[in-house]
């Protein structure tokens, strides 16, 4: 039994209208959640330091380096160690940014997968999970492309 509509799509016009209203309410709630997530992602900055304390790196939600800081201790090391420290800190920050991004998106993704969809009203139409996979990419798909959710910055760059 579908948690929203029961086993079958409604055939009664009044019941169908109620189902469409539920669907529209769910969509509105999700739209608000998406805006909130976009704002959080746009403001997200992750800081990481190398284990040896030579450098600190700050990345945005996409894992793009937005700031670096070299400590005084770095002035007494070799260029090779400094290069390694930057790489380590940048990778650590980018990994933490991906984890934070997924944590922000996860509740919405679960809601989208469970929300009523057009396919619940009219069999044969795509579900929201299928549409999400088409638009955002499917993290479970067997493809060579890496699934990376887009941040608010990426959406703004696209003019959304």
Where is 22: in which H helix or E strand?
Answer: helix 13-43
Confidence at residue 12, expressed as pLDDT on a 0 to 100 scale: 76
Confidence at residue 143, expressed as pLDDT on a 0 to 100 scale: 44
Q: What is the pLDDT of residues 93-138, one digit of tens each?
A: 999 999 999 999 888 877 766 666 666 666 677 766 676 667 666 5
Query: Is the model's pLDDT at 9 over the cut of 80?
Result: no
Residue from 44, 30, 3 nearest 109 by CA: 30
Residues 50, 28: Cα–Cα separation, whole Å: 43
Q: What is the pLDDT of residues 32-84, one digit of tens each?
A: 888 999 999 999 999 999 999 999 999 999 999 999 999 999 999 999 999 99
Task: Name the more confident of 50 and 8.
Answer: 50
Confidence at residue 64, expressed as pLDDT on a 0 to 100 scale: 95
Residue from 14, 26, 13 nearest 118 by CA: 26
Of 23-27, 129-133, 156-160, minimum mean pLDDT range: 156-160
Residues 48, 59: Cα–Cα separation, whole Å: 9
Residues contacting residue 92 through CB under 8 Å, at least 6 positions apart: 48, 57
Residue from 119, 109, 135 nearest 33 by CA: 109
- Residue in the structure block whose two tokens are 């055939």: 11
Task: Name the more confident of 143 and 158.
Answer: 158
Query: Is the model's pLDDT at 146 over the cut of 70?
Result: no
Of 41-45, 87-91, 131-135, 146-150, minimum mean pLDDT range: 146-150
């Amino acid at each position: 039994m579908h948690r929203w509509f029961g086993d079958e799509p409604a055939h009664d016009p009044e019941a169908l209208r109620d189902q469409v209203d539920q669907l529209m309410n769910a969509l509105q709630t999700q739209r608000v959640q998406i805006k909130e997530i976009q704002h959080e992602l746009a403001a997200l900055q992750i800081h990481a330091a190398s284990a040896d304390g030579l450098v600190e790196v700050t990345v945005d939600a996409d894992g793009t380096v937005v700031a670096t800081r070299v400590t005084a201790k770095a002035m007494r090391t070799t260029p090779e160690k400094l290069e390694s420290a930057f790489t380590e800190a940048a990778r650590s920050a980018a990994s933490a940014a991906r984890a934070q991004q997924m944590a922000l998106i996860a509740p919405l993704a679960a809601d989208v997968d469970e929300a009523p969809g057009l396919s619940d009203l009219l069999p044969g139409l795509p579900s929201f999970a299928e549409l999400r996979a088409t638009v955002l990419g499917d993290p479970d798909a067997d493809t060579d492309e890496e699934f990376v959710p887009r941040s608010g910055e990426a959406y703004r760059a696209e003019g959304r």
